[in-house]
Homo-oligomer: A and B are copies of this chain.
């Protein structure tokens, strides 16, 4: 039986940090895993910028609360959940994800967590484990499931390759160029045409 593991940002909601960069007027926060493949380098840089600018968790959460899912995302998730099990596997943090997950009907989410100090400053982050997206697929395969994985960025690649079926959804050109072996789709209708072969 096939289950679906999907990335969150870029697939169902816009990139959170790009929105934060725009609303806060801090262009340096625009960078994502699409631009910087090393997630640790990226996160350390984000935390340093927030500290320098005096932005706290609640400031970021206010921005995230204004983000809406991509057009058609909720219907597409509904379509999947009528057919099989659906798990969101993201490198986001639970403190950021909540207002987005609520809008998506709170599907199961596996992600990370931020470390917040008593003054509501983001002082660190806790990655659940190394290569968490691939390990989620492996855990499901260990439970005798087959996995269809979807994502758009460098941090999705190991998940897409570990899965029985891996699909790039609206990836930027550099990801396509670096991974010509993966199929690429650009909208939910195209994605459905692949998924109906399995679920």
Q: Shortest Cβ distance from A110 into chain B, in angstroms?
A: 7
A8 to B110, CA, bound (A): 21
| A contacts with B, residue count (CB < 8 A) | 25
A87 to B136, CA, bound (A): 14
- Identical copies in the complex: 2
Q: Are B128 and A135 closer than 8 Å at their CB atoms?
A: no
A109 to B142, CA, bound (A): 16
Q: Are B113 and A128 closer than 8 Å at their CB atoms?
A: no
* Residues in chain B near residue A139, CB distance under 8 A: 139-140, 142-143
Stretch at the interface among A10-18, A54-62, A100-108, A187-195: A100-108
Q: Are A128 and B140 closer than 8 Å at their CB atoms?
A: no
* Residues in chain B near residue A129, CB distance under 8 A: 143-144
A129 to B1, CA, bound (A): 12
Q: Tell me which residues from 111 to 131 in chain A have a Cβ below 8 Å from any Cβ of chain B.
A: 113, 128-129
